[in-house]
Amino acid sequence: MRHLIISDLHANLHALEAVLDDAAGLGYDAVLVLGDLVGYGADPDAVMDRTFALDPLAIIRGNHDKVAAGLEPADTFNDVARVSIEWTAAALAAGQLSRLAGLPRGPVQVGDDIEICHGSPFDEDYYIFDADDAGRAIALASRPICLFGHTHVPAVFTRTDDPLQHDDGLEDDELRLPRSGPALINVGSVGQPRDGDPRAAYGLLDTARRTIRLRRVEYDVAGAQDRILERGLPPWLAHRLGEGQ
């Protein structure tokens, strides 16, 4: 089965539509959503509608989803994030807020091969950046393929004795998963990449071929920036999209 993996959409409709157009051209069977549909961006209602219309096979909440829905306070957010999530909560209708509140907490198991989480298998809000944290996550994952988000940075972690492979039968953006060992995969952020590349990021996981494609897609960054400014959100949120920060 070919899974479309999207994470950290952050109310960026321009980026989401570009990702879905690109993925449709490549083909997929099911959608996995790793949380943070809202926050930062200017179109939380449209992004939510578009995402749920995909009928995801599995979807989980992110930290911004929780705060927007009133499940947790915004006291751990920085000033810009707090302003944007308060704006988001005020902009969404009661039904949309209820839908956010009803998103399940990760990790969630998807069949025998896949587990999805927002931050990590041991803490839904934990940031995995380095090999030590990745090793802990791999040890605690319940499935051989663990998909996570939250950092907005694409990354793949495996055991050193069973690494990823790239061979002549694969596309340039495609990697073959370990033959037997686990893989911890972050496909990056659709709506707010933070690796210095402003292009939207997503993934295509093929469990039959045991491959992962880490895709980057150009989108109308200027249009997304204009929407942020039009709706009165902090200008820094528009600026950072152009920098991939």
Contact of 30 with 3, CB cutoff 8 Å: yes
pLDDT at residue 86 above 90?
Answer: yes
So where are the chain's domains?
Answer: 2-202+217-243
How many Å apart are CA 217 and CA 234, to the nearest integer?
A: 25
> CA-to-CA distance for 52 and 196, rounded, in angstroms?
29
Q: For residue 162, what pLDDT is reported? A: 63
Average of pLDDT values for 194-201? 98
Q: What is the Cα–Cα distance from 151 to 62, expressed in whole angstroms? A: 11
How far apart CA 219 and CA 14 sit, in angstroms, is: 6
**Mean pLDDT estimate for the chain:** 95
At 43, the amino acid letter reads D
Residue for token pair 């109308």: 220
What pLDDT score was predicted for residue 161? 65
Q: Is the pLDDT of residue 180 over 90?
A: no
More confident call, 162 vs 135? 135
What confidence score (pLDDT) does residue 233 get? 97
**CATH class in words for 2-202+217-243:** alpha beta
Higher-pLDDT residue of 209, 22? 22
Residues 6+ apart with CB under 8 A from 241: 12, 192, 198, 221, 224, 225, 228
pLDDT of residue 173: 87
Residue-wise pLDDT tens digits, 156-165: 998 766 666 6
Confidence class for position 171, pLDDT limits 50, 70, 90: confident
Say what the alpha-carbon torsion angle 60, 191, 171, 157 is, to the nearest 10 degrees. Answer: -60
Give the tens place of pLDDT for each residue, 100-132: 999 999 999 999 999 999 999 999 999 999 989
Please name the helix (run of DSSP H) or strand (run of DSSP E) that holds residue 224, with its range, or none.
helix 221-230
- pLDDT for the residue numbered 166: 65
